[in-house]
A and B are shown apart, each in its own frame.
Chain A
Amino acid sequence: MKDTFLYLLHPSWRSLWNRDRGKPGSGTIKNAVIFTLGALFWVGIFYLFYRVLSYFQGVEVIGNILAVKLLTMITVVFFSLLVFSNIVTALSAFYLSDELVLLHSMPLSLERIYLAKFTETLLSSSWMIVLFGMPVFGAYGVVYRASWDYYGAVLLGFVPLLVIAAAVGIICTMGLVRLFPARRTKEILVLLSILVMVSLYLLFRFLQPERLFEEAELDRFINFLAMVKTPSSVYLPSHWLTEFLVPLLFGKPGAPLFHFLLLASTAMASVTIGTWVGGRIYIDGWMRSQEGGGTRLAASSWIHRASDFLTRPLGMQTRAVVRKDIQLFLRDTTQWTQLLLLGALIVVYLYNFRVLDLKKIPLATVYMQNLLSFLNMGLAGFVISAVAIRFVFPAVSIEGKSFWLIRSAPISIERLLWSKFRMYLVPLLVLSEILIVLSNWFLNVSGFMMGLSIVTMVFLTVGIVGLGIGLGAVYPRFFVENVAKIATGYGAILYMILAMGFIALAVFLEAWPVNVIFMSYFAGIEIHASRWVLVVCALALVAVLSLAVCVLPMQLGVRHLEARES
């Protein structure tokens, strides 16, 4: 064992085993939540495919052909995803991991390191795709009442497919690193993968999958599937997997053994070829990645000029803080990926209002529109909080290990926090107003509701940003490696709970007087001036509440950071 490459994986296994050591309780809850969400997602995928395949089964003549076609498309997508995932993972495992200096300083053969890293890449890049791919193949088996041979074949056929995808991905990575620096390549690929994911998510939403539950739409889907050309080739391993599974699934004649042997022999050949290629080019690439080479940035790009212009009205210290934060934000690719995901969330949010068919709801439409507009304020507030937890709450924590610089500079904590408040308030205010105006426009609400929503969103955003900066300062996490992790701590959860409470309270304060006005309007009763005074009072209360929610946590944050110093 100690002489094999598997021994090099020992620390990873052991680390996994020790992961929750010394953290009683916290790991269990987190694991339970993740497990439940994963199980729900798994069941959802299974149900979707079960429904589609059951419908195919009922279609005469071409039903099975469509099912095979869909299976071919799925295996092609799986194989492509696996190769891409392996390319990204291999960059970390083979070139960027800190462990590599230790391993390369040991008397270990390159072949042994290569095989260990190959296994690590294969496992970490494939497990999730396999896990969430299984309900798809499970649904095929259940719908077509396949025998146990089929399930065994799925497991048996997947192993060589994963090995081939890993070998191809790793060889591609080794080639890429010969041409480009490893770190930059990884950043670009991660961004690209998020972009692809977001596009797929948007595409999926725009296809309106809920319509598949209507028979007419399923018919249209079948027509589409029948026309579309399957992007497969007899030389692709995904095709061999399909050819291996189809005879067992439908009890049709075929050559499953031949295709399985093709898969297995290609997998073995790909490992051998990968090891041979690795032996020739890997170590040179790794040594080059050690040599580093700084990234040169243009001294004065348009971004610098724009941030200079925008921050001109601010005081010198505030300006310095804001400009530094903008520069760091733009250079941190983990922030970009979060931005992309949130962008997709917002587009889908607006799209849901766009496709909302109010005519289907059996209530007075004008009343419904305005009621929805009210709920929309709460939902928009929720979206802004979701953005704020990712960007505003970590604003203090991202000072990180360099916080001593701020503390040793002649700038007060109070000024620092308010500088950050101003920096985040402006973009979030713009975003919240765009959200509320567009969604209200799609809902076609009255002018009164539009005006009320616009003013309310200003108050809500001020509160959400102040609460975020303030609590972020009370619960700073200066030493996390990944910025995205700041939004998952105890302080972040508390922030989200408080923000939700604040939004609910603000909406509730306005809901009652506004509802009274609407009810009077529908009943044809004249609306007394005192009713309008109530609305103004409610709005004033919301304003006071928002200011309190903004200022109090900010002061608490200032005190906490100052006390931290002493």
Chain B
Amino acid sequence: MIELREVTKQYRDLVAVNRLSLHVNRGEVFGFLGPNGAGKTTTIKMIAGLMRPTEGSVLVGGIDVAQDPIRAKALMGFIPDRPFLYEKLTGEEFLRFIGGLYRVDGRQLAQRVDELFELFSLRDFRDELIEGYSHGMRQRLVMGAAFLHHPEVVIVDEPMVGLDPQGARLVKSIFRELCARGKTIFMSTHTLGVAEEVCDRIGIIHKGELIALGTKEELQQQAKGGAERLESIFLQLTGGEEMTRVVEYLRS
């Protein structure tokens, strides 16, 4: 459903993503992990059509995002890590506006808006201006907006930031439910517990390169010493040397 072919993104002298190739299947929840500055957000922005690769191509549902962005974007719902919201619109006005952009109209839109407010526990706030929403409420509203048009693919950058445990549980179950309905989720996260719990497969990016790919069990095999927790595997693959240096420094 999502395919990255030899994708490279270069900013002046810095190669943010280097010849990244990846295939995410339909109905799969794919976790994209990596330390800060590894190239996760750049990759996500290239898939969402917000950046163009310097080399290579990104295909969503078989459509090249750079060649035919409108058709590709119509298949996607995008949830950025720091989402923009119109502060002076109410929650309902915002969702209706998004519905208009995705051509969801009339009774279908009204029904969908009701469903989403109910699902994300925002029913009591639908007529309040967004400027009065808490961080978690905003995050839930943005998710609602991304799911409004029943996208085939959902691209999420850091889905759990600012969510309370209840909200986080809700999002996890929604992801699993969508997956069961054949939708594809591509998410980047730092919350390794979420990745471990929700994702079918995980890719780890480090310094712009994909250094590990597979199910949790496959990653365990790739990591030396047979670490069990994803956190240990992640640190071993990406931050082992740095961590050792930090520990040695603290001891000294």
Q: Interface residues, chain A, CB within 8 Å of chain B? A: 2, 7-8, 10-11, 14-16, 18-19, 21-22, 98-99, 101-102, 104-109, 284, 287, 290-291, 293
Contact = CB atoms under 8 A, between A and B. Distances in A.
Contacts of A109: 70
Contacts of B135: none
Interface of B: 11-12, 45, 48-52, 69-74, 76, 78, 80, 83-84, 86-90, 93-94, 97-98, 100-103, 105, 129, 132
B48 A107 contact: no
A364 to B, nearest CB: 60
A57 to B, nearest CB: 49
B89 A15 contact: yes
Main secondary structure of the interface of B (DSSP, over half): mixed
Contacts of A15: 86-89
B80 to A, nearest CB: 6
Given A290-B50, A291-B51, A18 B97 contact: no
Closest 10 CB pairs of A and B: A15-B88, A107-B74, A98-B84, A107-B73, A105-B78, A2-B100, A11-B86, A107-B70, A18-B88, A106-B101
A107 B71 contact: yes
Contacts of B105: 2
Contacts of B51: 287, 290-291
B84 A14 contact: no
A8 B98 CA distance: 10
B84 A99 contact: yes
A112 B159 CA distance: 30
B37 to A, nearest CB: 13
A2 B88 contact: no
Main secondary structure of the interface of A (DSSP, over half): helix
Given A7-B100, A11-B97, A105 B89 contact: no
A18 B129 contact: yes
B49 A104 contact: yes
Contacts of A18: 88-90, 129
A473 to B, nearest CB: 25
A8 B101 CA distance: 8
Contact of B49 (A2, A21, A105): A105
A250 B102 CA distance: 54
Nearest to A105: B78
A11 B84 CA distance: 13
Nearest to A21: B129
A8 B69 CA distance: 18
Nearest to B99: A2
A22 B72 CA distance: 40
B146 to A, nearest CB: 9
A105 B155 CA distance: 11
A389 to B, nearest CB: 26
Contacts of A108: 70, 73, 101
23 contacts: A2-B100, A2-B103, A2-B105, A10-B100, A11-B93, A14-B88, A16-B88, A18-B89, A18-B129, A21-B88, A101-B50, A104-B50, A105-B48, A105-B73, A105-B76, A105-B78, A106-B73, A107-B72, A107-B74, A108-B70, A108-B101, A109-B70, A293-B11
Contacts of A98: 84
B78 A14 contact: no
A99 B132 CA distance: 19
Contacts of B93: 11, 14
B24 to A, nearest CB: 18
